[in-house]
Each structure stands twice: as C-alpha cells, then as structure tokens.
C-alpha cells in the first residue's frame, strides 16, 4: 500500500515578492504538509512573462494553472496581496462549483469588506515604492544595495499595486463552507476589526492569531508563526499515518 498524500498547501506571495519567499518552509513544516509555492507571472522562474495587473484576470489564470495542485486534499494560504488572491481563488472555485480547499488561511491582510479602496492610489514612482518597502520591513538589505534587484522588486511591486487596486469586493457572495484562519502582527497598520471581519466570509469557523511584530511578523517570528499555522491546518484526510497538529491556543472569532 502506498503512503497517503500529504495536505497540499498552496502559498501565494505578497506584493513585490516571488514564490521563493516560501521555499524554506518546505523543511520547517510537519511531514504531513506539502508546501506548494505559487509563482505569479513576471517574477522568479516566470520573469520572462508579462505581469498580469488585473485582479480577476490573475485569479482566473491561477485557477487554470494550479488545477492539478487543487485536486485532492489541499488548503490555500496567502500573505498580504497573497491573502487577497487566495480568497479570490477560493471564491472563483466556489462559483465554478469546483472542489474547495479544506481551509483558507490569510495573513497580514484586511478582510475584503474592510479594505481601503484608496490605499493603492498614486505613489508608484521609485522613491515612493522604496519608502513603502522600507516601512513594511520585509525586504532584505542586500536588495536595497543592488541596483538590479531593486529594479526587479520595484517593477514587481508596481504591477502588484495595480492588482490590488483592481480588486472589487463582492458583497453578494454566499458564505464559504470552510474554515478561515487569519494571522496578524500587533504592530501592523491593519486594525483589529479589519482582521476580525474575515469571519464575515465564512459560514464556518474563523480564528485570528496575533503575533508580535509588524507586517512581516511571519518572517521575523517564523518559528512561532509556523507552529500556529500547523495548528490551524486541517490534518490530511488519511491522518492516521501522520502526527496530528497540536491543539489550538487561541479562541475562535
């Protein structure tokens, strides 16, 4: 008898980043989790492709490209812009009557109903984008010291801001029939009610875990974050072959 497949966790990157931000997680998560870093057009291994700057178009493309990964036992995670895309992908799967993820996990992103539509207006010159990267604190110093890496990062961030700007909240969506688990940094500029509003997107369980740190708490407190992530993930359907996650330490919303 072959070993059961682990839970596939599709991981969508934040604005300005590539799938490489999740590569190290492969050796840090439990054996029953298979990290699937999702590369977006125009970056990383897909740098030769044009950026997709429209939110709905990008979501539709991801649902086609990741169809194989979204079969069987899977969950979807995203940080910041990636969380917005993860939600968009889940909603599109719902509208197409395709199998849904076992859970939606969102990090460092206000709920769709609480997003500020003016947040991404203007500020696309190099100086403004560089200041934003400095403020968020998630960019390695070697990127700032490399003209080539900065050019790549700024061009990617500029395109991703347009993705975020083109997102439109659909209030008429029915609740998702799956749990949503949200994660946030106490020093991030996203207010607590905007994070708690993720509960409006689901008819099931919604949890919210807080961490010390700002927008990139998941990087600066990686060990604690990955432990919480493992607690929130659903164990594989054939879970007898794997060690179950530790019990949750935070309450439900």
Active-site annotation holds for 215: yes
80 noted as active-site residue:
yes
Residue tagged active-site, from 18, 80, 107, 199: 80
3-state per-residue secondary structure call for the chain: CCCCCCEEEEEECCCCCCHHHHHHHHHCCCCCEEEEECCCCCCHHHCCCCCCCCHHHHHHHHHHHCCCCCCCCEEEEEECHHHHHHHHHHHHHHHCCCCCCCCEEEECCCCHHHCCCCCCCCCCCHHHHHHHHHHHCCCCHHHHCCHHHHHHHHHHHHHHHHHHHCCCCCCCCCCECCCEEEEEECCCCCCHHHHHHHHHHECCCEEEEEECCCCCHHHHCHHHHHHHHHHHCCCCCCHHHCCCCCCCCCCEC
Identified catalytic residue from 79, 167, 181, 215: 215
Residues designated catalytic: 80, 215
């Amino acid at each position: 008898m072959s070993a059961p497949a682990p839970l596939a966790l599709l991981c969508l990157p934040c604005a300005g980043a590539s799938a490489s931000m999740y590569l190290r997680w492969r050796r840090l998560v439990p054996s029953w989790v298979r990290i699937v870093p999702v590369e977006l057009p125009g970056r990383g291994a897909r740098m030769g492709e044009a950026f997709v700057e429209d939110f709905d178009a990008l979501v539709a493309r991801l649902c086609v490209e990741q169809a194989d990964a979204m079969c069987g036992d899977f969950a979807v995670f995203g940080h910041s812009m990636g969380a917005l895309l993860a939600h968009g992908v889940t909603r599109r799967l719902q509208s197409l009557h395709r199998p849904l993820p076992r859970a939606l996990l969102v990090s460092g992103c206000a709920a769709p109903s609480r997003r500020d539509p003016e947040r991404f207006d203007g500020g696309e010159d190099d100086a403004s984008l560089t200041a934003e990267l400095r403020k968020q604190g998630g960019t390695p110093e070697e990127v700032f010291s490399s003209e080539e890496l900065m050019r790549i990062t700024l061009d990617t961030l500029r395109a991703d801001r347009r993705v975020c700007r083109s997102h439109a909240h659909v209030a008429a969506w029915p609740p998702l029939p799956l749990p949503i688990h949200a994660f946030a940094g106490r020093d991030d500029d996203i207010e607590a009610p905007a994070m708690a509003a993720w509960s409006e997107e689901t008819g099931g369980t919604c949890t919210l875990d807080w961490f010390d740190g700002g927008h990139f708490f998941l990087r600066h407190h990686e060990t604690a974050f990955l432990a919480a992530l493992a607690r929130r993930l659903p164990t594989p359907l054939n879970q007898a072959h794997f060690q179950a996650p530790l019990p949750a330490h935070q309450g439900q919303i």
